[in-house]
Amino acid sequence: MNLRLSRRVQRVSLSANAAAKSRATELREAGRDILDLTTGEPDFDTPEHIKQAAYAAIAAGATKYTPTPGVKALRLAVQRKLQRENRLDYPLADIVIANGAKQIIFNAFAATLDDGDEVLVPTPYWPSFPDSVRFNGGEAVFIACGLEQGCKLSAEQLQQHIGERTRWLILNGPGNPSGAVYSVAELQAIAAVLRRHPQVLILLDELYEHIRFDGQPAQSLLNVAPDLQARCLLVGGVSKTYAMTGWRIGFGAGPQVLTEAMAVVQSQSTSGASSVGQAAALAAFDGGLDFLPEQVAAYHWRRDLLMNALRDIDGLGVLEPQGGFFVFVRCAGLLGRYRPDGVRLNNDADVVAYLLDEGVAAVAGSAYGLSPWFRLSIATATDNVAEAGRRIAHACRQLRGAA
């Protein structure tokens, strides 16, 4: 059959995270001893009160279609959450619910991008950012933010890259894959640049807002520059904080003209999000965060375990994450070395393939726009994290220098 695929779908690729996860699963099912550090999915269970709310919704018959922008009760809960946790006030019309934060981002680009419009994407980035831009006709403009600057965008870089076709800037904090957290001063400097360019919209991806290791509350660009609220889309959800990745509920808070357009896009794709998922999310947002400190402490402990195992390995450079689920590792010093079987490591994909052979599944940094690096998830059992550190250290010791 001569099936012609659209140019649109050919602009994007399967998620590298999903591909790495799938390969690790295949090997484990085949009997291999593989430690899977590929996915940013909490290993904790969804809190019980949230599950009970879902059971109650099913028992009450709340299993029908939902309004496309989201159930009003959940949107009100998001409004309260933003006031209570983020110190931000939004009218109800500015809040929209979707099938996960990823759909919020996709809908926003679908609603605002025309062919050739540019979106500024600091590197390293979450892979769905540029692919969502490309799928919707835009062009991703990458801004390299390396280890020497903590994988964070500087105000000077932002000013240099804004052009006539710039439509959006993406700011992700804590960052995926970097774990980077912007300081108040850094956010103020970025805000000063953005004020000079009123045509630029700002997408604030803050899914990991409560997974921070500095003991500080969630901090947004809007907390230091509230005057930019009319140009920002704040993206959040329940996946990371509440261990609800499979419930697929995200929210966006932004100007009404944008959220209404996003609802139009969603009405022609998936319609409203799951009724049961929204009932669970309502319980999540209204149920408090008493369970969270113990989980954040576990992530913090795992981060330190992995950092201690990796920081003294010859050939690796490690960025200490300030939040999130990941440790991002530069492996430039391993390139040119040889595996025990004589195969040369030429790039980060080769390094990741070698680590997989040694029993640790990671994701190559090329998937995040920064090579040669690789990403390790700490959202897995503490024993697995510790053992992964040992295996990586052993694997690196086995390498031979360039011939």
Residue 400 has pLDDT above 80, yes or no: yes
SS3 145: coil
Element (H, E) at 118: strand 118-123
| pLDDT band (50, 70, 90) for residue 213 | very high
**pLDDT score for 17:** 79
Cβ neighbours of residue 391 under 8 Å, at least 6 residues apart? 35, 355, 358, 359, 360
**Chain centroid to CA 192:** 25
pLDDT at residue 350 in the model: 97
Q: Residue 212: CA atoms inside 13 Å, Cβ hemisphere, count?
A: 17
Q: Containing H/E element for 77?
A: helix 72-86
Instruction: Report whether 298 contacts 381 (CB < 8 A).
Output: no
Same domain, yes or no: 242 and 348? no
Confidence of residue 1 (pLDDT cuts 50, 70, 90): confident
Query: Do 389 and 369 belong to one domain?
Result: yes
Residue 253 lies in a domain: yes
Residue 15 to residues 24, 61, 274, 363, Cα–Cα distance (Å): 14, 36, 24, 11
pLDDT band at 19 (very low <50, low <70, confident <90, very high): confident
Q: What is the pLDDT of residue 392?
A: 98
Within a domain: 402? no
- Kindly state whether residues 95 and 235 are assigned to the same domain: yes
Indicate whether 1 belongs to any domain. no
If asked whether residues 23 and 143 sit together in one domain, one would say no
Shared-domain flag, residues 125 and 262: yes
Q: CA 193, 321, 296 angle in degrees (round to 5)?
A: 115
pLDDT in tens, 217-227: 888 999 999 99
Tokens of 75: 């949107």
**Per-residue pLDDT band at 402 (split at 50, 70, 90):** low
Same domain, 148 and 238: yes
pLDDT at 249 over 50: yes
With contact defined as beta carbons under 8 Å apart, do 345 and 339 qualify?
Answer: yes
Domain count, the chain: 2
pLDDT of 108 above 90: yes
Q: Whose CA is closest to 374, among 322, 335, 323?
A: 335
Residue 2 within any structural domain of the chain? no
Residue 14 pLDDT:
80
Q: What angle do CA 256, 258, 263 make, to 5 degrees?
A: 95
Strand, coil or helix: 143: strand
Check which CATH number belongs to the domain holding 321 and give it: 3.90.1150.10
User: Given a cut of 90, is residue 27 above it in pLDDT?
Assistant: no
CB 203 within 8 A of CB 171: yes
Candidates 228, 238, 226, 220; CA nearest to 78 is 238
What CATH number does residue 136 fall under? 3.40.640.10
DSSP state of 224: H
26 lies in a domain?
Answer: yes
- Domain end, chosen from 258, 286, 314, is at 286
pLDDT at 124: 97
Domain membership of residue 403 (yes or no) is no
Task: Examine the pLDDT at 403 and tell me if it is beyond 80.
Answer: no
Same domain as 299, residue 183: no
Is the separation of the CB atoms in 39 and 372 below 8 Å?
A: no
Residue with tokens 């909490």: 42
Structural domain including 220 reads 48-286
For residue 242, tell me if it sits in a domain: yes
CB-side neighbour CA atoms (13 Å) of 213:
20
**Per-residue DSSP letters for 270-329?**
T-SPPHHHHHHHHHHHHS-STTHHHHHHHHHHHHHHHHHHHTTSTT-EEE--SBSSEEEE
DSSP per-residue codes, 355-388: HHHTTEE-EEGGGGT-TTEEEEE--S-HHHHHHH
Mean pLDDT score of the chain, rounded to an integer? 96
Same domain, 202 and 149: yes
Domain co-membership, 153 together with 263: yes
Average of per-residue pLDDT across 369-382:
96
Give the integer Cα–Cα distance in Å for 376 and 301.
Answer: 15
135 and 267 part of one domain: yes
Find the angle CA(159)-CA(165)-CA(166) to the nearest 5 degrees.
45
If asked whether residues 221 and 295 sit together in one domain, one would say no
Domain boundary among 262, 286, 310: 286
* Average pLDDT, integer, range 267-293: 97
Task: Map residue 151 onto helix, strand or coil.
Answer: coil
Q: Residues 174-190: what's their mean pLDDT?
A: 97
Looking at residue 23, its pLDDT comes to 86
Structure confidence at residue 2 (pLDDT): 84
Q: 317-370 pLDDT, tens per residue?
A: 999 999 999 999 999 999 999 999 999 999 999 999 999 999 999 999 999 999
Same domain assignment for residues 26 and 126: no
Residue 261 lies in a domain: yes
Task: Examine the fold and report which residue of 253, 286, 319 is the final residue of a domain before the chain moves on.
Answer: 286
- pLDDT, one tens digit per residue, over 65-78 is 999 999 999 999 99
**Least confident interval from 22-26, 201-205, 291-295, 352-356:** 22-26
Among residues 400, 397, 213, which one has the least CA distance to residue 316?
397
> Whole-angstrom Cα distance, residue 332 to residue 314?
10
